[in-house]
A and B are shown apart, each in its own frame.
Chain A
Amino acid sequence: MIDGSVSRRKFLSVLGGASTAAAAFGLSGCGGQNKTAAGSSAKPGTELSGSINCTGATSFQNLVEDAANDFMDANENVTITIGAGGSGQGLSDVKDGKAQIGRSDIFAEQKLDPKEAQALTDTPVAIVGMGPIVNKNVKIDDISTEDLKGIFTGAITDWKDVKGSQTEGQIQVINRKAGSGTRATFEQAVLNGEEVPTSFKPVAEEDSSGTVVEKVSQTKNSISYLAFSYYDDSKFKALMVDGVEPKNENVESGEFNIWAYEHLYTKDPDEVTQAFVDYMLSDAVQGSLVEEDGFIPVSGMQVKKDAEGNVSKL
């Protein structure tokens, strides 16, 4: 009996230690899960061959995956591996040569040293629009950028102080995690360079858009922001900003200001990598896949944005 209990205890102690250690390395999270689809049989006559590793932002991973599958169907000797990991990892991997393509939903200049960023080539392949959303109990349809700024810096804390709102009560701010591309885009467009005071505290900071959908639909008086592709009228209410509706055509015309590029970053690309990047910009992808997956094609844009967030007419 005593022997048995000792050995179990020892076994569990190893388990406990191991799980702590695993957590310390971030192994037990949603680490890089790779999806490989291999082009197998070699056919004489096909020109392109090689393999591409593409890691980074999850926000437009499905778009790149769809395009990669089509590309591999057309070029049987090409293998494209799509991994997750977030914008930071995508930029790190391409900078360190671990991946040929890094996906990012923010400019490399916002993350890396200027020198490191300069070594990378930026190819925006799509545009994503995003806007503020509220729980259905909040009676408001249109919010000003000024009020949004107040809410997300903690200057406005009650719905009764928001112009156009017929609701009273404490505003429950649900933010995205610091460092998330969606948050960086939203803050760049809304805060106008104003710093968020360290004292401001949201009720939650979520890692993913999916959780934001859940939390906003369940929490009364809550506000957050999401990419258009997540919009769902049955769960929450999307707001107009300064009277402009959150629609793709308003983003294209430049009237709606909260949007970001989805970037592919490369560093001295080889022939196959360049061919795939070019394919992402071709009509085959821009004409159908981009819109099917909820993004806005690059070609339709009438304005452009630089790394500092300055918008200018094309």
Chain B
Amino acid sequence: MTQKKSQQLLSKSRLEYIGFSLTLACVALVALVVIALIFMVFQQGLTTFFSDKVNFFSFLSGPHWIIDDGHFGALPLIVGSFSVTLLATLFALPIAVGSAIFVVEVQPVFGRKIFQPLVELLVGIPSVVYGLIGLYVVNSSMRTVFGTLAGTGAGILSAAIVLAVMILPTVTTLSIDALSAVPNAYREGSYALGCTRWQTVWHVVLKSARPSLLTAVILGMTRAFGETLAVQFVIGNVEKSMPASLLDPAATLTTALTSGLANATTGSVQYHALWSLGMLLLAMSLIFILIIHLIGRKGAKVNG
């Protein structure tokens, strides 16, 4: 009966055809958006070098970013972005892996039922809230700890601390997944050889979860690298010259881009230079994604 009905409405081959075209259309749309996006960013970003004649190498290595005076050196921004990202990862990683070990190896019930939802709550907090808390709490504690050395309290260290809290849930959740994915047979084998729990965790579980842990780190870094709003509150936004210490105010590629766009007029060198920053960011995120894929492939090989 039902078969007969569907035959009346649509023939089988027609149904096949519709399903095929629908899914193909989805893929085509996504591909189109990605290609259009990359094309637009590169087209605008490359204008700086081809028609405005800014030297590409001095753009990458110049120590001053003062676009209103014709200084197009993105190095302070690149250094700012990388130093906050690396520092934040450095702060977040031990805590994330430590809690992942506790959750997976020590107290799975507490971990899964209470701890993990708690950590995932952090993901839902908007970055502007992190920024405000950073402005009032982190910056002022910097002033209290370091005194006049810290200036307003804004700087690379403050930004790294705020970012560390922001990427903590990503890295923690992924580390938990990475450790739970290690087959139980490995642990049992280790215990059978007479290893203690700590020895098992250190030498067996962490080692075999390494590719997935690396993925967790890279994803955390991607998030830290792209974060704009929260960083803008706490880093001091001094784009013009190189930060000399961790307490020095600085700026990142993303903060320079957002605040610069409000003041640049379309078609000007300044406007194109900001697009070049966007191009740089896009290239960086493509590299991050590439690394994740490489690690994934290597991990698949190791774990079979």
Contacts and interface: CB of A to CB of B under 8 A. Distances in A.
Interface in A162-220: 169-170, 172, 174, 177-180, 195, 198-199, 201-207, 211, 214-215, 218-220
A178 B239 contact: yes
15 contacts: A1-B181, A8-B174, A9-B212, A16-B285, A20-B281, A23-B228, A23-B257, A23-B258, A29-B232, A172-B148, A201-B241, A201-B248, A203-B154, A207-B237, A219-B143
Interface string A39-71: 000000000000000000000000000000000
B236 A204 contact: yes
A89 B260 CA distance: 10
A1 B180 contact: yes
Interface in B213-269: 215, 219, 222-223, 225-229, 232-233, 236-241, 248-249, 251, 254, 257-268
The 7 closest A-B pairs by CB, nearest first: A86-B262, A179-B263, A203-B151, A20-B226, A29-B258, A5-B177, A20-B285
A131 interface: no
A85 interface: yes
B282 interface: yes
A24 interface: yes
A203 B240 CA distance: 11
Contacts of B140: 218
A5 B178 contact: yes
A174 B236 CA distance: 9
B37 A21 contact: yes
Contacts of B181: 1-2, 5
B153 interface: yes
Contact of A16 (B222, B266, B268): B222
A37 interface: no
B103 interface: no
Interface in B266-304: 266-268, 270-271, 278, 281-282, 284-285, 288-289, 292
A232 interface: no
A303 interface: no
Interface stretch (B67-75, B187-195, B198-206): B67-75
B69 A195 contact: yes
B83 interface: no
B150 to A, nearest CB: 9
B264 A88 contact: yes
A96 B174 contact: no
B90 interface: no
A12 B281 contact: no
B122 interface: no
Contacts of A19: 222-223, 226-227
A12 B178 CA distance: 14
Nearest to B179: A5
Contacts of B288: 16-17, 20
B87 interface: no
A222 B212 CA distance: 47
Nearest to A172: B151
A87 interface: yes
B265 A92 contact: yes
Contacts of B240: 178, 198, 201, 205
A39 B48 CA distance: 43
A95 interface: yes
A17 B285 contact: yes
Interface in A55-113: 85-89, 91-92, 95-96, 111-112
B47 interface: no
A97 to B, nearest CB: 11
A216 to B, nearest CB: 9
Nearest to B232: A207
B278 A24 contact: yes
A89 B262 contact: yes
Contacts of A114: none
B257 A198 contact: no
A221 interface: yes
Interface of A: 1-2, 4-5, 8-9, 12-13, 15-17, 19-26, 28-30, 85-89, 91-92, 95-96, 111-112, 169-170, 172, 174, 177-180, 195, 198-199, 201-207, 211, 214-215, 218-222
**Most B CB within 10 A of own CB, among A19, A22, A95, A203:** A203
A236 B2 CA distance: 79
Contact of B151 (A4, A8, A9, A204): A204
A268 to B, nearest CB: 18
Contact of B71 (A9, A21, A91, A198): A198
A20 B225 contact: yes
Interface in B130-160: 135, 139-140, 143, 148, 151-154
Given A24-B281, A195-B69, A198-B69, 7 more contacts: A2-B181, A17-B285, A17-B289, A95-B266, A198-B240, A203-B152, A211-B233
A22 to B, nearest CB: 7
A191 to B, nearest CB: 13
Contact of A23 (B265, B270, B281): B281
A312 B251 CA distance: 40
Contact of B263 (A20, A88, A169): A88
B222 A178 contact: no
**Most B CB within 10 A of own CB, among A15, A29, A222:** A29
Nearest to B68: A178
Contact of B262 (A24, A88, A170, A201): A88
A20 B226 CA distance: 4
A18 to B, nearest CB: 9
B257 A172 contact: no
A29 B228 contact: yes
Given A5-B181, A177-B263, A214-B135, A198 B64 contact: yes
